[in-house]
C-alpha cells in the first residue's frame, strides 16, 4: 500500500493524524528504538527518521545539535538504512526518511530508492532539492513507489505551490512559518490564510510542521490540516527526562 493510501485510510478514523520526527543516532539507536516504540504504542500515525547531515539548513538549534552529536558518535548512512528497515518491519505504520540531498547523491539515487522500497520505507523528505533540479530523484522515487514529499512555505506563491504539488506524492509538508524548526509558531489569521492557499493548491493530504509543540497547537489545526508534525519538542523531552517521558507526552496530545 502506498503512502497516500495508507494515510487516507487512517484519516477515516481520526480527525487529525500525528507525525513525529527523530534524528537517527541521537542520542543512540538504542534510545531511538525505545522512543519509536513509545510513539507507536501511544498513537503516532507516521514517523520521519532523519538521516544526520552536517549542514541541516532547515533545522533549528535543537535538531542541528542532534545531527551534530549523532555524527560525532560515528553514525553512518548504512547504519540508518539498516535501522530504518528494522523499524518498518517491526511497526505497522508508515516510516519516511528525512535528509538533505547530499546524503542521497553520495549514496546514489537509484541505490537509495531501491533500498527504501525493498525495506518498506514509504516516503522521503528532502528540503533542499527543488523539483527543477531533482528530475532523476523524482523518477527513481516514482519507479520504486517511494513518495517524494514536497514542501510548501508561507513565501510560496500560489503558482509555485501548484507546481510543487504536481511533483509531490504521499502528502504535502506545509511549513508553519518562516525560518527554521523549533520555535513555537503563531497559528493566527495569517497562518489560516496560508493554509487556505495550501488547500487550494493540492488534493494531497496536508501535514503542518515547524513549531507545533502541544495539544493546543494540534487542536488549532483540526479541520485545517490532515497531519500535525511534532519534531523538536520530543527531542528536548528525551534530553530532559529520557525516553520514558515520550509515551505519556504523545498520549496527551489528543
Domain ranges of the chain: 3-251
| Sign, Cα dihedral of 15, 85, 168, 188 | positive
- Cα distance between residue 40 and residue 18, in whole Å: 10
| Cα 58 from chain centroid (whole Å) | 12
| Mean pLDDT along residues 82-97 | 98
pLDDT of residue 177: 61
Contacts 24+ apart (CB under 8 A), 69-76: 69/26, 69/27, 70/23, 70/24, 70/25, 70/26, 71/25, 73/25, 73/28, 75/24, 75/25, 75/29
The model's pTM: 0.93
Q: Is the pLDDT of residue 201 over 50?
A: yes
| The CATH number of the domain covering residues in 3-251 | 3.20.20.70
Q: What is the pLDDT of residues 19-50, one digit of tens each?
A: 999 999 999 999 999 999 999 999 999 999 99
Catalytic residue annotation: 48, 59
Q: Is the pLDDT of residue 118 over 60?
A: yes
Amino acid at each position: 500500500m502506498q503512502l497516500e493510501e495508507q494515510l487516507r485510510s487512517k484519516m477515516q478514523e481520526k480527525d487529525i493524524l500525528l507525525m513525529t520526527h527523530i534524528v537517527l543516532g541521537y542520542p543512540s539507536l538504542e534510545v531511538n528504538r525505545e522512543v519509536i516504540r513509545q510513539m507507536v504504542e501511544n498513537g503516532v500515525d507516521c514517523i520521519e527518521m532523519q538521516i544526520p547531515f552536517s549542514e541541516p539548513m532547515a533545522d533549528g538549534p535543537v535538531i542541528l545539535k542532534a545531527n551534530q552529536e549523532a555524527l560525532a558518535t560515528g553514525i553512518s548512512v548504512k547504519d540508518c538504512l539498516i535501522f530504518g528497515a528494522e523499524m518498518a518491519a517491526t511497526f505497522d505504520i508508515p516510516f519516511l526518511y528525512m535528509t538533505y540531498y547530499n546524503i542521497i547523491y553520495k549514496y546514489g539515487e537509484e541505490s537509495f530508492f531501491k533500498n527504501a522500497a525493498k525495506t518498506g520505507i514509504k516516503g522521503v523528505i528532502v528540503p533542499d532539492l527543488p523539483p527543477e533540479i531533482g528530475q532523476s530523484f523524482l523518477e527513481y522515487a516514482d519507479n520504486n513507489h517511494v513518495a517524494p514529499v514536497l514542501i510548501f512555505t508561507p513565501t510560496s506563491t500560489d503558482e509555485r505551490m501548484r507546481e510543487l504539488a504536481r511533483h509531490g506524492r504521499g502528502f504535502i509538508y506545509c511549513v508553519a512559518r518562516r525560518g527554521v524548526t523549533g520555535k513555537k509558531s503563531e497559528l493566527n489569521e495569517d497562518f489560516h490564510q496560508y493554509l487556505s492557499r495550501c488547500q487550494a493548491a493540492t488534493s494531497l493530504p496536508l501535514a503542518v510542521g515547524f513549531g507545533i509543540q502541544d495539544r493546543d497547537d494540534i487542536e488549532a489545526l483540526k479541520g485545517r490540516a490532515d497531519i500535525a508534525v511534532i519534531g523538536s519538542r520530543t527531542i528536548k523531552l528525551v534530553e530532559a527526562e529520557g525516553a520514558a517521558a515520550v509515551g505519556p507526552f504523545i498520549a496527551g496530545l489528543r
